[in-house]
Structure formats: C-alpha cells, structure tokens
Amino acid sequence: MLVGDGEFSREQLLARTAAVAAAILAPSPFSALFITAKAEFIVEWAAEALKPTIAHSGAAPELLGPAQATAVLRFIRVSKHE
C-alpha cells in the first residue's frame, strides 16, 4: 500500500492505511511503500503506528541515501522486537 502524508498523489493517509492493515488476515502480510525521503516520517509511521510486515522505501537514492535508509531499517527492526 502506498503510504504517506499526501506529498505524492495516490498516497494513503494514516487513518485509511491503518484501517486497511487491520482488515488483512494472517498469514497475509501487510506491505507499506514509502516514497517520501523524510526518514523521521517513515520511522514514525512504520515503526510506531502501522508496523507493516514489509516496509519498502521507494525514495530516490539521492534524497534518501544508503546511510539514512540503513538507519531507518535498523530502527524499524528494533521497534518490532520491543
């Protein structure tokens, strides 16, 4: 599901995304695609609010570089295990 704050067209806002995620029955995974380069936003929504099975960053690499993407991934992984 394309997730965001409306920065890009077709992004779904938090309330709608959470409703769709809640309707997904196990063992089906919930996958969230973030195309924003806002690392803090991705962490807040993925790690704290939505907790998707799969979190994918589709941001341009020149906007969300490897170091930032790795930091986001580490934070999300740690949050899932708390």
Q: How confident is the chain (82 residues) per 10-residue block, as mean pLDDT?
A: 93 94 94 93 89 90 91 77 54
**Rounded Cα distance, 25 and 10, in Å:** 24
If one counts every other C-beta atom within 10 angstroms of the C-beta of residue 62, the result is: 7
Q: For position 17, what pLDDT does the model report?
A: 94
Total tally of structural domains belonging to the chain: 1
> Residue 22 — φ and ψ, nearest 5°?
-65, -25
Give the structural domain span for 52: 2-80
Confidence (pLDDT) at 82:
57
d(CA 45, CA 42): 5
pLDDT at position 2, please? 96
pLDDT score of 1 = 94
pLDDT at 81: 52
